[in-house]
Structure 1
Amino acid sequence: MLAGAAAVLVAAAGVSAALAWRDESAPTSAATSAPTGAASSAADDGEPPRRAATAGNPLRAEGPVTFYAPPEPGASRQAELWQDERPDDAELMRRLAAVPHAIRLDQTDARPEVAQRLAEARQAGGVPVFLVNHLPGGDCRPATPTDREAYQEWITGVARQIGPAAAVVVLAPSSLVNLPGTAACDPGGSAQQRYDDLRRAVRTLKSNPATAVYLDGSQADWPGTELMAERLIGAGIEETDGFFLNTAAFQDTDRTVAYGKALSACIAARRATGRTGCPADVQVDPAAMPHFVVDTARNGRGSWRPDKRYADPQVWCNPPGRGVGERPTTETGEELVDAYLWIARPGTSGGRCRRGTDGERDPERGVESPPAGEWWAELALERARNAVPPLR
């Protein structure tokens, strides 16, 4: 599960608070041929294909996109604390803080946060990515009709504050994994209620001319391509800019991209035929395949496989030896992959990891982990040191 608790507001003054990032490095993923003539021509010349610009989606602009975020607060604060006694570690924290991350919107009134970040983004010349995570029942507790209507009013406030500005919205992580009416998730609720809530939210946000919206696509092979295709179709994937992957996981980029392509093809085939499953005998129109973004904030070393045997290994919970991955960029070399983004926070704890044992200590690390969503300095340092490619 994505560890995202309270948003942290960082006081900032003017342009000095702004931070922009542009990844000039060449993409490491293998290039694929694009369906457009221009992209195919570029591929024939031996250059990575460029996606055609799409009106309304800032991630599909021609050429690299500059991302904006304020410095990550936990890493920035840690750099100051370590500056005198641990200068090398402090420098790593500064580099970690400088990578643009998704700006969390889960406050009761998120409009001031949106207004401030958009103003800073304009001055910095960058595009902000907002993680919108205020959905009632997202934790599998029952949501009343009043709660659901209040959420739509909240979304309307966020959308109005964004207005015509270029922005990316990662909408409600785990909302299509933790689905009401399914096992262990609000038995009194229904999947249709969740689909309706997400469809309304998407339509409100997409009423803005330059807002891109992505829905929850989970992670490679879990809970399954067919299941996630069904849920994304139910939630109205055709009205969005696509789906996002890997926010709750550490799967490496190549595996995640392969899963995203399979999920996209399955959605396109089902929508074209009305059939269930993932029809393998259907010629899919590339233009009908949803695009996606990949969270690379923690996947530099891929997923973790414990050497020891645990009753419940909890491979998602503070896995040791992991590192941050590729920096945010739209230069992915993949037609369907709009961007690599840092959505999860590399330095926050995934919660208390007992791995099926008694007691509060993580048997793998030998310490008691901070609660979910809390900053953990040593975890952040571990992931910064293990960065692939290295932080610089």
Structure 2
Amino acid sequence: MSRRTFRPIHLLAGLVALGLASGCAAAPEVGQASVAGPASQRARAASPFWVDPDSPAARQVHGWRQQGRTADAETLERIAGQPVALWPAGETDPGPQIRAAAGAARRADRTLLLTAYNIPHRDCGQHSAGGAADADAYRDWIERFAAAIGDTEALVVLEPDAIAHVISGCTPVELEPEREALLREAVARLTRQPHTRVYLDAGNPAWIKEPWKLADPLRRAGVADADGFALNVANFQTDAVATAYARELSKALGGRHFVIDTSRNGRGPLDGVWCNPPGRALGTRPTTDTGVPGLDAYLWIKRPGESDGDCEGGPQAGRWWPEYALELARNSGAQG
């Protein structure tokens, strides 16, 4: 079982949630003024998570309304009105950004969604290459990250791809013990915060085909002390595929709970294209009312509309790409 449980959601939240089934974002202090539209108000009723009224999507909605692009703005509200995870930059102190968002989440009586993505040798030199300079730099970054959360209710997805890269052989063998130790230490540090839940990333079903292969590395990385594991971050596997895979992995881990990223899986994957595949759609809206034992939440961890990398016409990884965001939103039109 998870160490903590989510706050109960009103019945209305579950009913609304049924309607729909890796980048850095600024998080200045949020005051009363906001560009958030009606969809943001509906999202607050539909899930316990905080909706950033100054997200790139919300700013784009505001800009398009000013330009008279009313129809596009209304369509993009399908993203702007939903809670998405904040990915603090690894190159700077994450404290100020997290504290600002945490303060806003507390005032709204909502749970803050965060992704910690700064492990050394991150992404094996690919589109999102980077990460902390060394182990000590990472420990310092995680300390600042965790301290900034304070007593805010928060959910943290810890280091997308880090374990899967170990299993796939992308991470050099000599670096594996350090990586697992850093993840274990990060779990321990983050779970010291009184209202923080932590889910250790476990890749996606299309990457590591056999879920049992993840079990031992996840154990060595501290999953037993976390609230569970996360699947499908920044990927496109359907809810059904991800859930079936998660159940198998959960069994191998003695019943650990899990969360699934549904931000862009409304039409499933596109064969052979993982980086900015065209024709995709938003998936199940963020909610803790999943109806699936062990599945703690559907979440939007990858921020819809932020590029996977400079592929398929997209900008650098993590950059806001309004055309792609609009396509995702348009393609989810039949879902709400």
Counting only pairs closer than 5 Å after superposition, residues 1-392 of structure 1 correspond to structure 2 as 4-5=22-23, 7-17=24-34, 21-22=43-44, 24=46, 65-71=47-53, 73-83=55-65, 84-107=67-90, 108-140=92-124, 147-179=134-166, 183-186=169-172, 189-223=174-208, 224-268=210-254, 289-305=255-271, 313=272, 315-353=273-311, 362=312, 368-387=313-332, 390-391=335-336
In the TM superposition, residue 85 of structure 1 has moved relative to its aligned partner by: 4.0
SS in 2 for 1:338: strand
In the TM superposition, residue 318 of structure 1 has moved relative to its aligned partner by: 1.4
TM-score normalised to the size of structure 1?
A: 0.72
* Aligned CA distance change for structure 1 residues 197 and 121 (closer, same or farther; 3 Å): same
Task: Give percent identity, aligned residues only.
Answer: 38
In the TM superposition, residue 105 of structure 1 has moved relative to its aligned partner by: 1.8
In the TM superposition, residue 88 of structure 1 has moved relative to its aligned partner by: 0.4
Kindly indicate whether the alpha-carbon contact (under 8 Å) linking 2:84 and 2:301 is maintained by their aligned counterparts in 1.
Answer: yes
Q: Give distance in 2, aligned partners of 1:295 and 1:146.
A: 28
Q: Which deviations, in whole Å up to 9, do the C-alpha atoms of 1:280-337 show, x marking residues without a partner?
A: xxxxxxxxx00000001001111123xxxxxxx3x21111211001111000001100
In the TM superposition, residue 369 of structure 1 has moved relative to its aligned partner by: 2.7
Kindly indicate whether the alpha-carbon contact (under 8 Å) linking 2:132 and 2:138 is maintained by their aligned counterparts in 1.
Answer: no
SS in 1 for 2:156: strand
Q: Which deviations, in whole Å up to 9, do the C-alpha atoms of 1:315-361 show, x marking residues without a partner?
A: 211112110011110000011000000000110222233xxxxxxxx
Give the aligned CA root-mean-square deviation in angstroms.
2.5
Write the letter of the residue equivalent to 1:71.
Answer: P
SS in 2 for 1:135: coil
Q: Which deviations, in whole Å up to 9, do the C-alpha atoms of 1:239-269 show, x marking residues without a partner?
A: 100000101310111111111001111222x
In the TM superposition, residue 199 of structure 1 has moved relative to its aligned partner by: 0.5
Kindly indicate whether the alpha-carbon contact (under 8 Å) linking 1:163 and 1:208 is maintained by their aligned counterparts in 2.
Answer: yes
Paired position in structure 1 for 2:11: none
Q: Which deviations, in whole Å up to 9, do the C-alpha atoms of 1:208-249 show, x marking residues without a partner?
A: 221100101111242131221222122121110000010131
Kindly indicate whether the alpha-carbon contact (under 8 Å) linking 1:22 and 1:67 is maintained by their aligned counterparts in 2.
Answer: yes
Matched pairs, number:
304
Kindly indicate whether the alpha-carbon contact (under 8 Å) linking 2:76 and 2:326 is maintained by their aligned counterparts in 1.
Answer: yes
Structure 2's unaligned 5+ residue stretches are: 1-21
Write the letter of the residue equivalent to 1:335.
Answer: P
Structure 1's unaligned 5+ residue stretches are: 25-64, 269-288, 306-312, 354-361, 363-367
Kindly indicate whether the alpha-carbon contact (under 8 Å) linking 2:28 and 2:101 is maintained by their aligned counterparts in 1.
Answer: no
In the TM superposition, residue 78 of structure 1 has moved relative to its aligned partner by: 2.3
TM-score normalised to the size of structure 2?
A: 0.83
